[in-house]
Structure 1
Amino acid sequence: MSLVRRLINPHYVANAALALSYPIHQIINHPDLLSPSSIGAYLRYLLPAMVLITIKVRSSQSAEELVSVLSLYMKVFSLYGYWAVSYEPVEFWGSEWSGHWRFVLYMLAWTVVFIALPQPPYQGPSKVIWLDSAQLNYLTTPSEKSKGKGRADDQSSSRSKRTTAKIVELDEDDEPLDEVEESEEEQGQDQKQDRHHHHHEHGEHCNHDHGDGLLHPSQKKTSDLDPSHYWIIAFNATWSSPCRYFEASLANCSIKYDRVNVHFAKIDMDLFADGDEIAERFKINLAATTLDLPTLILFKDGKALKQLPPKIATKMGGDVLGKVGWDRSVASVEKAFELAKLGTGKESFV
């Protein structure tokens, strides 16, 4: 999806309208504010704001993040502006109203837009694979364990199930009915999982026809996932704005460093019943004020090799003492995971 089409999403349009409402209101009612003398008087207030905006522009990793950040600053400015001019009465349908209504209505409009038009997920080009909790466990379980007692027990249990005598009903072609039913059940579960992933990305009102049971491009069957490859997995939460902003950076990395043995994936932990267990397992703080989201971890053969944000240190029992913040830029991901070398055999951490 092109940048223009992404930015005309109702979320960005509505927030941009809210951000510009106060400046437009003032220009219409007080055109003298555009005079050189007025601009000069307000210049000392505008300069610090311009410096802050410039810093945010340089640190933004996508056009969506830039629009969101600028809209937020402008909305705060507009909210203050409507409060500052609340002494001016409002004429509406021939009646004179208190100027405080402008402030109240602006707050109400901001709340409605925030609830009704949440920030959409990144919809640009991407090769990031969406994982469920079972696939995450499959990719992050060390291979030594799977080759050890756990796998032996599973194989022993599987053999015992195959050798356990049971009555099997045959159909007209002398085929076991149980196997047919199990196969149909597994197929139905796969299709249900595919629809879950698709609706997660496109919403419940998706118009795409998936009656053929095909997987969406951002999903893979578990059998197609190879734990022996390099996997950079982003641990996200749908309510986290930093996670939303980072999606574009992760997508860019997935396209630029697309290799046979290097993959980028993501999991939204709040969409699964065991999301809290996943966060606890990988020492990710899910508090509203957390700096851990998004967390990126590089895996190979089920082992965690590197992580962003990086840990300061750990104490006995594996508890994390703290983590160093990071800017969620493409450059920081390239440097931390050595993306230019990853999968070529020249990695320094292999």
Structure 2
Amino acid sequence: MSTDNKIYLDHNATTPVEPTVLEAMLPYFTEHFGNAGSDHAFGWYAEDGVETARMQVAKLVNCRPVEIYFTSGATEAANLALFGFCENQKVKGNHIITCKTEHKAILEPMEELERRGFAVTYLNVDGEGNIDLHQLEEAFTPKTILVSLMYANNETGLIHPIKTIADIVHNRNAALMVDMTQAVGKIPVDLKNLDIDLGVFSAHKMYGPKGVGALYVSKKKQLTLRKTLFGGNQEKGMRPGTLNVPGIVGFGAAAALATNEIIEEGNRLLKLRNRLENQLSKVDGLQINGQKQDRLPNTTNISIHGIDGSKLLRQFKNLAVSRGSACNANLVSPSHVLKAMGHSDELALSSIRISLGRQTTEQDIDNAIEEISSVVDRLKTVSL
């Protein structure tokens, strides 16, 4: 299928690899192909590439390189963190606090932890997607060991007040894990200032390659995670298996790029997003979800009253956007995020996420406004 003339507005799903990132990776597929665990020149060169990337990633999020462990992605990192930490803390307690709007990469491990005997409290959110900090405080029990909350929501872009949450959690002698996948590379993330204990993020959300992510483990409190994977001592035993050296090098290159341009690019995207939302707000029956809240500069989530959601995306001939729901094979279910925010099934199914990126231009935004407005008008006319 040709993607010519298509406008890609789904950067929260994945991003294209930047040419400079690809250029940095290519030698590690061919001339510098060694195994980073090999004790000879080829291995040493590969290991140097990995450690350079570790420093680049650590610099982006302002932590120590020794606190970064490379994984196959944020989902694997989340599993390592959740199961490794919680299983190691059973003597202290078995209670975990999270939120109903977390990504499935967090919610599904939580379900498994419940099957293993842990108790999980799922915080509610208001109509804009915010958690109630008083409800968070009241959710603690003497057995609470961990709070797991995302930095920025993947569907709405809403940003949680992580520093304030960290203070609440630490005052209760629990640990804080943060899914930072949508935040890192889009907005400044300062781990020393945020004072979180565990964090996960991924390269492919920030113009790096797919198949590589990072687990952050703070050394400040000397946290220990029980091993959940076995078969080698790579990444200090945290994540055994041959390292994906080209992918890790690409992760580092993408981190270096973001470090240099994150403020400027964020401001550019915010202007484009505001242009998009100002025009879409004029469309009859269209609402912008979480509009009044602190959000990622690139993310817009819209719902259209009175539109058949099953027909909505199929009408877009030139736009690549995301449905505001999870699709599993032929089953389409309403977004759990929007339902938690109080949307009906019907309205949640009539929602789409638009996420801008480095390639997005002002002309792309104008074209998107025109096509979305035209499709909504056409579908409303048909439904009359």
TM-score normalised by length of structure 1: 0.28
Q: Which has a greater percent of helix?
A: 1
| Larger Rg over CA atoms | 1
TM-score normalised by length of structure 2: 0.26
Q: Which has a greater percent of strand?
A: 2
